[in-house]
Amino acid sequence: MGRLGRTPRAGVDHARPGGIRGCHDAFVQPDSHDASRRTYLAEERTLLAWWRSGLAAFAVSVGVGRLLPALLDEDGQGPFVALGVAYALLGLGLVLFGSLRERAQAKALAEGGFAPLSRALVTAFPAYLTLLALATIALVLSV
C-alpha cells in the first residue's frame, strides 16, 4: 500500500515524479522525440489502412465484375462489369488519396503542423459510397 492507504497505480514509478515504468520495469521518460516518432508511425499505419481499403475494393471489383456473372451464368454482363469498374475506381481513389494524404501530412508534421482533411473529400467519398451501395442493392435485387 502506498501513502494515504491507497495502492500505487500499476506502471507508475512513484520514486521518480512523472516517470512511467515500461516493459520489464525499465524506466521510460516520455519526451517530445518519442511523441514525434509515435505520430509518424501512426501516420504510416493510416497510409497502410488506406491502401488496405483500396485493395479490398479491387477484390470486390473482380468479384462483382467477373466472378459473379460467371457464377450466375448471366448473359447480360454489362451491369456487373459497370459495377465492378465502379468498385475499382473506388479502390484507385483510396490508394491515390491515401498516398497524397500521407505526403501532405508528413510535410505538415515535419514543419510542426497538421494537414486537415479536405471538406470536399469528406463529402465526396460518402456520396460515392452511397451511390455505389444503391447500385449494388439494385443489381442484387434484379438477379
Q: How much is the pLDDT for 77?
A: 87
**What are the Cα distances from residue 114, in Å, to 104, 110, 135?**
9, 9, 36
Half-sphere exposure of 104 (CA within 13 A, CB side): 11
For 121-138, how does the pLDDT look when each residue is reduced to its tens digit (9 = 90+)?
899 999 999 999 999 999
**Residue 61, C-alpha cell as written in the block:** 471489383
**Residue 41, C-alpha cell as written in the block:** 508511425
Asked if pLDDT for residue 23 goes beyond 60, the answer is no
What pTM value is reported for the model? 0.71
Domain ranges in the chain?
1-30, 39-142
DSSP string, 59-76: HHHHIIIIIHHHHHT-S-
CA 66 to chain centre: 27
Spatial distance between the Cα atoms of 64 and 82, rounded to a whole number of angstroms: 9
Asked if pLDDT for residue 109 goes beyond 80, the answer is yes
Q: Average per-residue pLDDT in the chain? A: 81
Q: How much is the pLDDT for 35?
A: 67
Beta carbons of 84 and 66 less than 8 angstroms apart = yes
Spatial distance between the Cα atoms of 28 and 31, rounded to a whole number of angstroms: 9
How many CB atoms are located within 10 Å of the residue 84 CB?
22
